[in-house]
Structure 1
Amino acid sequence: MPSPTSLMCTRDSLATELRAMGLRSGETVLVHSSLSSLGWVCGGPVAVVQALLDVLGSDGTLVVPAQSGDNSDPAGWVNPPVPETWWADIRATMPPYDARTTPTRGVGVIPETVRNWPGAVRSAHPQTSFAAVGPCAAAIVDGHALDCRLGERSPLARLEEAGARILMLGAGFESCTAFHLAEYRIAAPQVDNSFAVMTPQGRRWITVSDTAITEDGFGELGAAFEKERPLVRGKVGAAEARLFSLADAVTYAEAWLAQQRPHTAAST
């Protein structure tokens, strides 16, 4: 948490600023967040989640990425890598994904707070799950296929159908997961993807074929999107915040990526 000498935020001040940005009661919103960017928050991540739910109201639905990318093949680990002599044992002993208990990794403390929120539900993918709270939560996280991390059979497509918006709360476009949905629509190459899951026969280490995804270029993509498409910018606490249509972002990204990555489609 930032030093107490930085800007102080409260549940009420955050809610007021979110409403001023145009976040509405009853809507569905996918939030990417950085707690430290907000300043000193009285109540920490719990206060941030409370503020978001205050604004969305009982008819609104809050969605966050709840990724757990460490459940993956150790041969691809780079941050940090592990010795090759460990790989077989890791594949044999990695705990299987459990939507109730597997912690998030690399997405910040606010999504981890949402994951543990009363009534929260979480999608089934062992690496790229989403957690949600609200009346549309179950429909959004349902049916997340093991061979579709962030594509048509993931919560991103359900969010698009629901007319959701994206709130970037101190987070950059590099973390905008919706851009990955566009990758599934430009004929990106297929790759093997491995993880530990629980099946009716018990724990299994499985490998599936899925679309290759990468955040490479997402910063440039986001800058172009922000320049050319409707987007609300504002301040929430000390954080730069952006609010925009998920469907609009995916449509723009599809055209941009097809132009910037012509080798991708050609390689399939």
Structure 2
Amino acid sequence: MSTTLPSGPLCTRDSLAADLRGLGLLEGETLLVHSSLSSLGWVCGGPGTVVQALLDVLGPEGTLVVPTHSGENSDPSLWSNPPVPEEWWAWIRASMPAYDARTTPAFGIGVIPETARNWPGAVRSAHPQTSFAAIGPLGSAIVDGHALDCRLGERSPLARLEEAGARILLLGADFESCTAFHLAECRADPPEVDNSFAVMTPQGRRWLTVRDSGISGERFEELGADFERERPVVRGTVGAAGARLFPLGDAVAYARTWITRHRPYVSES
């Protein structure tokens, strides 16, 4: 057992809520959160405390949305971190569990989204790779209708968040995590790619391949730095974490112009 004292600050439900209000989070708003628990300090109660603090500030009329992506449900021929032997590919395609919005865990995006996904009353969108979960009165309107051939475009929760006037909170996360930039990518007419996953259909489990907009996330940090320099972004601290708060619609509009001007497409499926 480690005898090293934990690094601070000590964060509680009340202290996190106070910091979030100080940043400018408003009761009743719709908020998309990208987060890092470890960046906050020592959180008394862990990720559930963070979710509860966010809900405390948003109140009963507010809606909290988090990415609950499960990108491992994808074609193994494209895996690189780590890759798997080619002789395994057919077996993986035949055996990958079908996506289930109720039980498929979020993968690679931290414990706060996974905690929110399991929160009482949470609803989740239907895409096997790029789902979002929501808690609050606008939850179903945001996550319903997430098309299998639209990871992060017009028929995804990102477009519904834009319509709802949502803001984005980067809580210890950087612009590389800003999924709203992918909506801008999809609007900038990228090439289409094949995208495959295991899904449940009325006929049972299927390995399905669809055509979708290619997305890459290339140069998102550079894009975010320019956005922050040229457009209003509230910056502050929540616990020990650097935080940024800004309108999702502004980010998408800026990113679409920036991507068109600055970035040739290097898409990945």
- Place the TM-score, normalised by the shorter chain, in its bin: over 0.9
Match status 1:42 vs 2:44: yes
State how 1:134-149 maps to structure 2 within 5 Å.
134-149=136-151
Does the aligned pair in 2 maintain the 1:188–1:264 contact within 8 Å? Answer: no
User: 2:157: which partner in 1?
Assistant: 155
Does the aligned pair in 2 maintain the 1:68–1:126 contact within 8 Å? Answer: yes
How far does residue 3 in structure 1 lie from its aligned partner after superposition?
5.5
Task: Name the CA shift for 1:93/1:263 in 2 (closer, same or farther; >3 Å).
Answer: closer
> Among the aligned pairs, what percent are the same residue?
74
Does the aligned pair in 2 maintain the 1:187–1:264 contact within 8 Å? Answer: no
- Structure 1 runs of 4+ off > 4 angstroms? 262-265
Does the aligned pair in 2 maintain the 1:61–1:133 contact within 8 Å? Answer: yes
Does the aligned pair in 2 maintain the 1:189–1:264 contact within 8 Å? Answer: no
Cα separation, 2, equivalents of 1:188 and 1:73: 20
How far does residue 263 in structure 1 lie from its aligned partner after superposition?
5.7
Aligned partner of 1:157: which letter? A
State how 1:103-114 maps to structure 2 within 5 Å.
103-114=105-116
User: 1:84: which partner in 2?
Assistant: 86
Aligned with 1:91: secondary structure? helix
Does the aligned pair in 1 maintain the 2:218–2:266 contact within 8 Å? Answer: no
Does the aligned pair in 2 maintain the 1:61–1:134 contact within 8 Å? Answer: yes
Aligned partner of 1:239: which letter? A
How far does residue 5 in structure 1 lie from its aligned partner after superposition?
3.1
Cα separation, 2, equivalents of 1:17 and 1:118: 24
State how 1:217-256 maps to structure 2 within 5 Å.
217-256=219-258
How far does residue 262 in structure 1 lie from its aligned partner after superposition?
4.4
State how 1:196-215 maps to structure 2 within 5 Å.
196-215=198-217
Kindly provide the CA deviation profile for residues 160-190 of structure 1, in whole angstroms up to 9, marking residues without a partner as x: 0000000000000000000000011111000
Cα separation, 1, equivalents of 2:254 and 2:265: 19
Aligned partner of 2:42: which letter? W
Kindly provide the CA deviation profile for residues 42-76 of structure 1, in whole angstroms up to 9, marking residues without a partner as x: 00100000000000000000000000000000000
Kindly provide the CA deviation profile for residues 18-44 of structure 1, in whole angstroms up to 9, marking residues without a partner as x: 001110000000000000000000001
Aligned counterpart for 2:14 among listed residues 12, 15, 36: 12
Cα separation, 2, equivalents of 1:6 and 1:63: 27
TM-score, length of structure 1 as denominator length: 0.97
Cα separation, 1, equivalents of 2:17 and 2:186: 35
Does the aligned pair in 1 maintain the 2:175–2:220 contact within 8 Å? Answer: yes
How far does residue 261 in structure 1 lie from its aligned partner after superposition?
2.0
TM-score, length of structure 2 as denominator length: 0.96
Does the aligned pair in 1 maintain the 2:190–2:265 contact within 8 Å? Answer: no
Aligned CA-pair RMSD = 1.3
Aligned partner of 2:212: which letter? D
Aligned with 2:245: secondary structure? strand
User: 2:174: which partner in 1?
Assistant: 172
Gaps of 5+ in 1: none
User: 1:101: which partner in 2?
Assistant: 103
Gaps of 5+ in 2: none
Task: Name the CA shift for 1:132/1:261 in 2 (closer, same or farther; >3 Å).
Answer: same
